[in-house]
Chain A
Amino acid sequence: MIILLAIVGAVALALRLYVVLPIFSRRQQSTLDARKRRGKAVRSATQKILCIVLGSGGHTAEMVRLLSGVDFDRYSRRLYVVGDTDVISLDQIGMLESRRDGEKEEYFVGRVPRSRRVGQSWLTTPISVLQCFGQVVQLMYQHMPDAVLCNGPGNCVVVCVVATIARVLGIKRIPIIYVESFARVNTLSLSGKIVYLLADRFIVQWPDILQHYPRAEHVPNLV
C-alpha cells in the first residue's frame, strides 16, 4: 500500500515537474532578431518586483552593467540578495540606486550567508548551503519577487532553487533569467551548469557555448 502511494506520488511529482519546469517546455525561444523585428515587447502597466543576486567582485561589476539596461520604473521594487561578508556589493548598490534622482528609492538588501566561500572545503559546503537556503526562503516569501535576474555567484543557485520550488508547489511562477559571465568563453561555470536546468532564459555572451547548451541564447556585447 505504502509502496503504491509512493509510486503514485512520484509519478504525480514527475508530471508536475514536466509541466512547470522551463527545461521541458517546447515554447519557441525568441531570438534577438525576432525581438528586433517585433520592436519592443508589449509592456503590461503593472509594476514589478525584481530579485537581483549579487556576488563577489566580477559578478557584481557585470550585474551593475547589466542593470543599466533594466527600466527601474517598471521594476519599481528591487530585492538585492547579497553575501553577508560582501561589502563591495553593498557599495555598488548604493551607487546604483543613488543614480536615480527624484523619486523615492524602493529597494531592499537581503544579506545571506554565502553558500560557498572561494576555497571553502566541499565537506562543509552542504552546511553553509542549508543556512543560505533558510535565509533565501524567508526573503523570497517576504518579498514575492516577479522575476529573478542573476549571473553566477554561488548564492544564485540557491535563489533559483527556491524560485523553482515556489513554481512546482504552485505558489507563484517566478521566471529566472540567467546571464553567464563575460569571462566564460568556452565553458559554463558550475552555477551556470546547474541553473541551466532551471532558468527560463539562459543568456551567454560568447557563441561557442551554444554548441553544448542549445537552450542558451547568445547575446553579445551586453557588458
Chain B
Amino acid sequence: MSVYVTVGSTGFDELVKAVCARPFLQCLATRGFRQLCVQYGSSEDAFTPLQTGPGAFGIAVEGFDYTSSPQRFIEKADLVICHAGTGSILEALHSRKPTIVVVNRGLMDNHQDEIAQELAERGYVVKTEVGGLAGAVTGGAYNRLMPYPNADPQPIGEILDEETLY
C-alpha cells in the first residue's frame, strides 16, 4: 500500500518535514503502508528522506518537486495526504481516494481552513493540522469517507451562451 503526499504549486515545510520523520513512518508501517511518495513543491530543503530499511520501518520514500499531471500519482496511491489548496483538494476528491487534508496554520488567509472544514463536516475528507497528522493516520477515519459527487461544469457554458446571445 502506498501514500501520496502533495503540497501543490507552493511549499509547506512543516508538512514535508513531518512526513519524512520517524514517528510518521512508524505510523504508516503499523497501518500496513510500504511506500511513500512526496510532491514537495518549493519545500525541497525540508525533504530529508531516510534510507529504506529497518530505520525507516521498511518504507520506501521517494519525492519530486512538481508534476503537471498529479492524477497519475494519485491513481497509484491508497491514501492521499494534501495541503488545503483548491487544486490538490479537487484532484483528491475526484479520484475518490481516501484523503487527509492538512491545513497550514502559517498562512495569513484562513479560507483554506474554511474549505477543509466544510468538506470535513460533509464527510468527504479528514481534516487535520501537521501536529495531528500521525493521529489521523492511526485513527483510520479516512477509510470511512463519503464519495464526492461528480462535477458538472455544463451550467457555465450555458450561462456564457445566455450572456453572449446578442
Contact = CB atoms under 8 A, between A and B. Distances in A.
A30 B111 CA distance: 29
A35 B111 contact: no
Nearest to A58: B86
Given A35-B158, A41-B162, A61-B86, A66 B115 contact: no
Given A61-B90, A177-B163, A201-B163, A41 B152 contact: no
A181 interface: yes
B157 A70 contact: yes
B85 A184 contact: no
Interface string B144-162: 0000011111111111111
A69 B154 CA distance: 4
Interface string A160-195: 000000000000000101010111111101000000
Interface size grouping (class) on chain B: 35 or more
A19 interface: no
A147 B90 contact: no
Given A57-B85, A146-B164, A203 B114 contact: no
A61 B151 contact: no
Contact of A219 (B115, B155, B164): B155
A184 B114 contact: yes
B138 interface: no
Given A57-B85, A58-B85, A95-B68, A66 B156 contact: yes
B153 A66 contact: yes
Interface stretch (A5-13, A42-50, A99-107, A133-141): A42-50
A69 B155 CA distance: 7
B10 interface: yes
B118 interface: yes
B98 interface: no
A57 B8 contact: yes
Closest 8 CB pairs of A and B: A69-B153, A61-B87, A58-B86, A57-B9, A175-B163, A183-B115, A69-B157, A69-B156
Interface of A: 30, 32, 35, 40-44, 48, 50, 56-62, 65-71, 74-75, 88, 91-92, 95, 146-147, 149, 175, 177, 179, 181-187, 189, 200-201, 203, 206, 219, 221-223
16 contacts: A44-B165, A58-B8, A58-B87, A61-B90, A65-B90, A71-B161, A147-B164, A149-B156, A177-B159, A179-B156, A182-B89, A183-B86, A187-B111, A219-B155, A221-B150, A222-B155
